[in-house]
């Protein structure tokens, strides 16, 4: 027997407050009026006052609108019919097909017990040398792409998605431009991956609250597949929009902001999403790639800053290349000892030399004389950028390592590279 | 002694309850969901007939009017034999056992006993019937791994008590009575379990001493340049990606200490998993046992409930104090204290307290100070020395050390190991900035020698900066050589390859030996006039020293490397009048 309330006391931002009893925290409600109807979630109960976050926003909501409570928190259907489907951020079908109501599961459940996790240990090859050689992607890793708007981050995300071998691809778009949404849809279809993909898309014109739901629904579904033993790849873009939605809601709720208007729990909010990345003992896994756009290329901005502390590294996309200094895959050490003996040495050696090359370029820009050593570094830097760093490079790991040795041999003596002699003896290309 | 109340507000992880009888600040309470699940919480503020509580679980499903059972006990931990090797969450629930019982996910409302009730311990009494004991005095001991684990008179004991009954040597479980104590006609039964409220320091000793003995981490840059003492405190602030956690992990592996408590507070689950999965297989060279046999893991990772994260550091430090009480040298590694501070901030926000800097509560600094002050080296009642060393990482927002948590921490620690972006970008690990960091302690190498070597780093940096302006050609060969020497010191001494089996851990004698060798190079008056020859020379030396670093101690390879070094140093280019 559903009970209707017909008196809303306060409406502000996306939050409506009314008097009701017997309502549980985080329960779902439906708000219905002449403007249409929307789902809403209980975000605070205090005595008989209930605060509701209205998913569609409160525009047009009247104090006399009908509110009813559904008796459960947010749920979503989990079944095999999900493949190839596209949903809105709030979980409504976006592809004109029917709604799914089978096997409803709770969205945003408790965390995985760390004791049942496995250490990520399998490399995900991407055929991008800057990733495979220098910052290897690992199954079960959570890794964002940091970039400024305008960089080809969505292209990079799509390329990794199509090249990585995953059983299930789950896409969560937040605050996307409509053409970005179409870009991903087309890339997944062209790449023949749509049949193993599920898309949750919140576009910039959709209600803000749905932006908050998007990663939760996407990750809940991903978690179910992973528990079944599937290897799931989750793509989330753009997490900065998600954080901005959080900011919007928390300001409406009159929370004291901590840094640039973001709520004090930004870290925990982001972490509870990113930490869904997992490898289970039985083989299932969630690998999470996300995009975090950095306003003003500022890595100390609260969103990239907090993200960096949560994720296992980041790919820093700058001037169209994956920058070797800002980028880091923290889990690369789990896999790169097993690939080839020279992998780690090349990884460190090439970057150290490239760092020196950058210093030399600065010196040159200031008009200093270049020593022989400086000249070597400059030439090396150019080859390295052209053959390895370029976005167009598309080779496997071993070929990429070989190319690195060749570039080194072209410009340096073995001892100048800082690579230990035993490896140079073994791998230095003979001219 | 418990009372009941009713929920009146649910907001995030904060619940307010109305009650009739009296309640105690920081007492444990259980919120009862209508489906019967009980959620543990702690009272953090009382106003009139209403108590605000932080709930250690997801509060989803609670409603106004639900019952709250308010106990009389403060948030406490269980202490006794069997803690070592365990993996606990922030409330001391053993996580592997939780997984066995409730599956992969940490469903709310499940709590398990911290100590194994079935395990038997070989007890040997050390007191005798008729003895007089006070709090924390030994009654006997059991063997826990390689340690003598003293079974002590209850910490809460007031005054002198007589041992009325004491069990004979034999096998007992933790809950079995092992002694009866009597005072003025009153008797109490004692078993191996003690409970202690986590927010109160546990320290029953004759006196607290000044830390004088270094804690060897086997990291050259720490032991030589920025040492840490047994019973001292240190902090590792650094931006993300600078290697804080890696440094903590290295320390937890190699430090010369009896027991390591790893408190993973609000950090990635993956890092704990690494420790969890690897420590049972890694050997502690000091004892020949596995590392897990000297480790306790307290793990409240970032996706686990925030309130339990706040309490997890207290749980960890209380366990540390307990084993100090037992007589061990304990190292507590808290990673990261910033996450703990953020948990404080979140709760403070929900309580609508007036915020301080960056919305942190006004009591942030004093909370940090109280936490680090729980470390220290002490003389126990039986005359033995035991210590608790605390090392905390700090994750400053934007890598800016001017923020409240870093500043609050710097005030109270004895050693500051500041990590820098620049060094980690240049892959110079451990990325401890040698010019920013400091230590108030003295290490294994005499202070003057260290200061002399350290001066090269500062001068080298100055020369490097000058070279950026005037160029290499505008730099004198003397300055250039100093710059090369500072780089050399950095490359072969400060940097350490944690992935190399040998170089990962550099024991004290090897450090002293290497330090002297490095100093010989620094002292050497090179008379090279050509800069590229000089650079070449130092390339060679650096490579040869690195080979030395990778060679096992006293091995042939080490001797070969040393011979090579000697050869270079006595070569025509290196000697005078080249």
CATH of the domain at B374: 3.40.50.300
Reference A146, options A271, A301, A285; nearest CA is A301
Domains of chain A (ranges; CATH) run 4-73 (2.40.10.170), 76-333 (3.40.50.12240), 340-427 (no CATH)
- Which of A18, A22, A25, A273 should we substitute to test contact with B (largest number of B Cβ atoms within 10 Å)? A25
Could you tell me if B319 and B246 lie in one domain? yes
Query: What ipTM does the predicted assembly reach?
Result: 0.88
For CA atoms B284, B290, B295, B298, the dihedral sign is positive
Tell whether B126 and B145 lie within a shared domain: yes
- Whole-model pTM: value is 0.92
Q: State the pLDDT at residue A431.
A: 66
For residues B102-108, give the mean pLDDT: 93
A21, B535: Cβ pair inside 8 Å? no
On whether both B377 and B497 belong to a single domain, the answer is no
Same domain, B132 and B104: no
Is B280 inside any structural domain? yes
What is the per-residue pLDDT for B451? 96
- Taking CA–CA distances from B300, the nearest residue in chain A reads A114
The four Cα atoms A398, A403, A408, A414 give a dihedral, to 10 degrees, of: 40
Same domain, B421 and B479: no
* Eight-state DSSP code of residue B552: P
Q: What percent of chain B has pLDDT over 90?
A: 82
Residue B10 lies in a domain: yes
Distance CA B529, CA B533 (A): 8
Residue B391 φ/ψ, nearest 5 degrees: -120, 125
CATH classification at residue B48: 2.40.10.170
Which residues constitute the domain of residue B516? 447-569
Mean pLDDT of chain B: 93
Whether B565 maps to a domain, the answer reads yes
Report yes or no: B25 and B43 within 8 Å, Cβ to Cβ. yes
A116 neighbourhood in chain B, CB within 8 Å: 99, 104
CB B573 within 8 A of CB B528: yes
Q: What is the pLDDT of residues A91-136, one digit of tens each?
A: 999 999 998 888 999 998 899 999 999 999 999 999 999 999 999 9
Model confidence over A19-55: pLDDT tens digits?
A: 999 999 999 999 998 988 889 999 999 999 999 999 8
Instruction: Please report residues of A whose CB lies closer than 8 A to that of B16.
Output: 46
- Residue B105 shares a structural domain with residue B253: yes
Helix then strand then coil, % of chain A, to nearest 5: 40, 25, 35
Whether B14 and B153 map to the same domain: the answer is: no
Same domain, yes or no: B250 and B157: no
Same domain, B63 and B131: no
Residue B194 confidence (pLDDT): 96
Of residues B65, B397, B539, nearest to A415 (C-beta): B539
Min Cα distance B330 → chain A (Å) is 24
Give the 3-state secondary structure of residue A361.
Answer: helix
DSSP tag of A51: E
Measured in angstroms, the CA of B532 and the nearest CA of chain A are apart by 8
> Nearest 5°: phi and psi at B322?
-65, -45
Q: Is the Cβ–Cβ distance between A118 and A279 less than 8 Å?
A: yes
Nearest CA in chain B to A329: B241
In a domain, B536, yes or no: yes
Digit-coded pLDDT (tens) for A241-293 = 999 999 988 888 788 888 888 988 899 999 999 999 999 988 899 999 999 99
Q: How many CB atoms lie within 10 A of CB B527?
A: 14
Distance separating alpha carbons of residues B45 and A271, to the nearest angstrom: 27
Q: What mean pLDDT do residues B130-152 have?
A: 95
Structural contact between residues A237 and A173, judged by C-beta atoms closer than 8 angstroms: yes
Q: Look at chain B and report how many structural domains it folds into.
A: 4
Interface test with A, best of B240, B471, B549 (most A CBs within 10 A): B240
How far is the C-alpha of B262 from the C-alpha of B276, rounded, in Å? 11
How far is residue B77's CA from residue B314's CA, in Å, rounded to a whole number?
10
What pLDDT score was predicted for residue B469? 84
What is the Cα–Cα distance from B225 to B247, expressed in whole angstroms? 16
Backbone angles phi, psi at B402, to 5 degrees: -80, 5
Which tens digits make up the pLDDT trace of B458-492? 999 999 999 888 888 889 999 999 999 999 999 99
- DSSP-derived letter for residue B84 is T
Task: For residues B556 and B474, state if they share a domain.
Answer: yes
Q: Pick the residue of B104, B274, B535 with the most A CBs within 10 A to test the interface with A by mutation.
A: B104
pLDDT, greater one: B95 or B471: B95
CA-based nearest residue in chain A for residue B534 = A373
Rounded to a whole number of angstroms, the distance from the CA of A138 to the nearest CA of chain B is 12
Instruction: Give the residue from B394, B427, B460 where a domain finishes.
Output: B427
Q: How many residue pairs from chains A and B have C-beta atoms closer than 8 A?
A: 211
Could you tell me where the DSSP H helices lie in A90-202?
129-132, 153-163, 178-190
Residue whose tokens read 């290499």:
B472
- In this complex, which of B339, B397, B472 lies closest to A371 when CB atoms are compared? B472
Separation of alpha carbons A311 and A281, rounded Å = 21
| Per-residue b or e along A95-105, where b marks 16 or more CB atoms closer than 10 Å to that residue's CB | eeeeebeeeeb
In a domain, B355, yes or no: yes
Who among A115, A264, A355 is closest to B99 (CB)? Answer: A115
Is B508 contained in some domain? yes
CATH of the domain at B453: 1.10.1140.10
Is residue B294 assigned to a domain? yes
Task: From A153, A136, A139, A122, select the one nearest A278 (Cα to Cα).
Answer: A139
Strands B179-183, B186-190: parallel, antiparallel or unpaired by DSSP?
antiparallel
Residue with tokens 């989330």: A236
Cα(A18)–Cα(A14) distance, rounded to whole angstroms? 13
Q: What confidence category does residue B424 fall into, taking pLDDT thresholds of 50, 70 and 90?
A: confident
- C-alpha count within 13 angstroms, C-beta hemisphere, residue B67: 11
**Distance between CA atoms of A172 and A177, rounded to whole angstroms?**
13
pLDDT at B1 over 70: no
> What distance in Å separates residue A305's CA from the closest CA in chain B?
6
Distance to chain A for B283, nearest Cα, Å = 19
Question: Does B247 share its domain with B349?
Answer: yes
Best residue in A48, A51, A113 to probe B by mutation, most B CBs within 10 Å?
A113
- Give pLDDT, residue B359: 87
Task: Please identify, among B427, B460, B477, the residue that sits at the C-terminal boundary of a domain.
Answer: B427
Q: Is there a contact between A119 and B270 if contact means CB atoms under 8 Å apart?
A: yes
- Per DSSP, A388 falls in state I
B100 has pLDDT over 90: yes
Angle A310-A268-A292 (CA atoms, 0-180°, nearest 5)?
50
Bigger pLDDT: B240 vs B479: B479
Mean pLDDT (chain A, rounded): 92
Task: Give the closest of A48, A110, A330 to B64, CB-based.
Answer: A48
In the predicted structure, residue B578 carries a pLDDT above the cut 50:
no
The CA distance from A119 to A271, in Å, is 18
Q: B163 preceded by cis ω (within 30°)?
A: no
Whether residues B268 and B322 fall in one domain = yes
* Mean pLDDT for the stretch of residues A340-353: 92
Query: Is residue B218 situated within a structural domain?
Result: no
Closest Cα in chain A, distance from residue B575 (Å): 22
DSSP-assigned beta bridge partners for residue A314:
A328
């Amino acid at each position: 027997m559903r009970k209707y309330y017909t008196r809303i006391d306060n409406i502000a931002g996306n939050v409506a407050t009314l008097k009701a009893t017997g309502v549980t925290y985080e329960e779902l409600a439906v708000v219905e009026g002449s403007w249409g109807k929307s789902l809403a979630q209980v975000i605070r109960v205090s005595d008989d006052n209930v605060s509701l976050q209205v998913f569609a926003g409160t525009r047009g909501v009247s104090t006399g609108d009908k509110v009813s409570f559904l008796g459960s928190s947010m749920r979503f259907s989990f079944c095999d019919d999900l493949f190839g489907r596209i949903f809105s951020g709030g979980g409504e079908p976006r592809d004109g097909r029917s709604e799914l109501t089978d096997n409803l599961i709770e969205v945003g459940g408790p965390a995985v017990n760390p004791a049942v996790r496995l250490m990520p240990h399998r490399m995900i090859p991407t055929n991008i040398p800057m990733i495979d050689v220098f910052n290897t992607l690992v199954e079960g890793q959570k890794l964002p792409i940091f970039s400024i708007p305008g960089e080809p981050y969505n292209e990079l995300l799509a390329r990794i998605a199509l090249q990585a071998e995953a059983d299930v691809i789950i896409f969560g778009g937040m605050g996307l431009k409509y053409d970005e949404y179409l870009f991903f849809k087309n890339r997944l279809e062209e790449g023949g991956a749509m049949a193993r993909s599920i898309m949750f898309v919140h576009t910039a014109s959709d209600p803000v609250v749905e932006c908050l739901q998007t990663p939760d629904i996407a990750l809940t579904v991903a978690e179910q597949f992973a528990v079944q033993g599937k290897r799931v790849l989750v793509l989330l873009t753009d997490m900065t929009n998600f954080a901005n939605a959080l900011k919007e809601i928390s300001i409406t709720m009159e929370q004291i902001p901590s840094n640039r208007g973001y709520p004090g729990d930004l870290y925990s909010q982001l972490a509870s999403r990113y930490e869904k990345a997992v490898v289970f003992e039985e083989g299932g896994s969630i690998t999470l790639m996300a995009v975090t756009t950095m306003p003003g290329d500022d890595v100390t901005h609260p969103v990239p800053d907090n993200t960096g502390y949560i994720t296992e590294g980041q790919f820093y996309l700058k001037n169209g290349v994956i920058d070797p200094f800002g980028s880091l895959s923290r889990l690369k050490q789990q896999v790169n000892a097993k690939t080839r003996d020279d992998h780690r040495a090349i990884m460190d050696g090439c970057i150290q030399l490239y760092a020196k090359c950058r210093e030399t370029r600065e010196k040159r820009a200031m008009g200093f004389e270049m020593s022989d050593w400086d000249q070597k570094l400059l030439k090396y830097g150019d080859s390295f950028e052209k053959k390895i760093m370029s976005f167009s490079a598309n080779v496997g790991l071993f070929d990429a390592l070989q190319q690195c040795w060749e570039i080194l041999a072209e410009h340096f003596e073995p001892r100048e590279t800082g690579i230990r002699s035993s490896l140079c003896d073994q791998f230095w290309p003979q001219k | 002694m418990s009372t009941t109340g009713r929920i009146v507000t649910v907001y995030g992880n904060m619940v307010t309850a109305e009650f009739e009888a009296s309640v105690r600040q920081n007492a444990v309470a259980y919120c009862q969901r209508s489906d019967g699940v009980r959620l543990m919480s702690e009272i953090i503020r009382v106003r009139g007939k209403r108590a605000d509580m932080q709930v250690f679980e997801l509060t989803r499903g609670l409603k106004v009017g639900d019952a709250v059972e308010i106990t009389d006990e403060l948030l406490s931990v269980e202490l006794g034999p069997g803690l070592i090797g365990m993996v606990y969450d922030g409330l001391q629930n053993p996580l592997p056992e939780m997984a066995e019982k409730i599956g992969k996910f940490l469903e709310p409302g499940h709590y398990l006993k911290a100590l194994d009730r079935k395990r038997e311990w070989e007890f040997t009494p050390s007191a005798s019937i008729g003895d007089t004991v006070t709090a924390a005095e030994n009654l006997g001991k059991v063997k826990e791994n390689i340690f003598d684990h003293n079974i002590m008179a209850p910490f809460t004991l007031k005054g002198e008590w007589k041992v009325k009954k004491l069990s004979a040597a034999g096998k007992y479980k933790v809950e079995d009575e092992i002694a009866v104590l009597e005072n003025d006609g009153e008797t109490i039964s004692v078993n191996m379990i003690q409970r202690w409220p986590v927010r109160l320091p546990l320290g029953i000793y004759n006196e607290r001493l000044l830390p004088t003995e270094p804690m060897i981490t086997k990291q050259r840059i720490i032991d030589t340049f920025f040492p840490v003492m047994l019973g001292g405190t240190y902090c590792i602030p650094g931006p993300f990606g600078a290697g804080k956690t890696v440094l903590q992990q290295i320390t937890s592996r190699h430090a010369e200490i009896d027991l390591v408590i790893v408190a993973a507070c609000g950090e990635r689950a993956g890092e704990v998993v690494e420790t969890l999965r690897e420590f049972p297989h890694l050997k502690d060279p000091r004892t020949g046992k596995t590392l897990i046999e000297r480790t306790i893991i307290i793990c409240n990772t970032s996706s686990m409930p925030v309130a339990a994260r706040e309490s997890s550091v207290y749980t960890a430090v209380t366990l540390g104090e307990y084993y100090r009480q037992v007589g061990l040298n304990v190292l507590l590694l808290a990673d990261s204290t910033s996450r703990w501070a953020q948990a404080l901030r979140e709760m403070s926000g929900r309580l609508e307290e007036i915020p301080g800097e960056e919305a942190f509560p006004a009591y942030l600094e004093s909370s940090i100070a109280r936490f680090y002050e729980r470390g220290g080296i002490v003389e126990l009642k039986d005359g033995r020395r035991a210590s608790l060393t605390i090392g905390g990482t700090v994750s400053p927002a934007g890598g800016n050390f001017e923020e409240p948590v870093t500043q609050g921490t710097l005030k109270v620690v004895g050693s500051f190991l500041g990590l820098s972006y620049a060094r980690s970008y240049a892959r110079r690990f451990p990325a401890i900035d040698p010019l920013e960091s400091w230590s108030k302690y003295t290490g294994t190498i005499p202070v003057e020698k260290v200061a002399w070597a350290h001066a090269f780093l500062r001068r080298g940096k100055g020369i490097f900066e000058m070279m950026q302006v005037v160029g290499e050609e505008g730099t004198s060969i003397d300055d250039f050589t100093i710059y090369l020497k500072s780089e050399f010191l950095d490359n072969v001494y400060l940097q350490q390859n944690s992935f190399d089996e040998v170089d990962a851990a550099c024991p004290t004698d090897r450090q002293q030996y290497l330090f002297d060798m490095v100093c010989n190079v620094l002292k050497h008056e090179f008379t090279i006039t050509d800069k590229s020859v000089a650079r070449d020379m130092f390339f060679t030396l650096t490579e040869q020293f690195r080979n030395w670093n990778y060679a096992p101690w006293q091995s042939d390879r080490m001797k070969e490397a040393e011979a090579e070094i000697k050869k270079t140093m006595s070569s025509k280019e290196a000697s005078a009048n080249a």
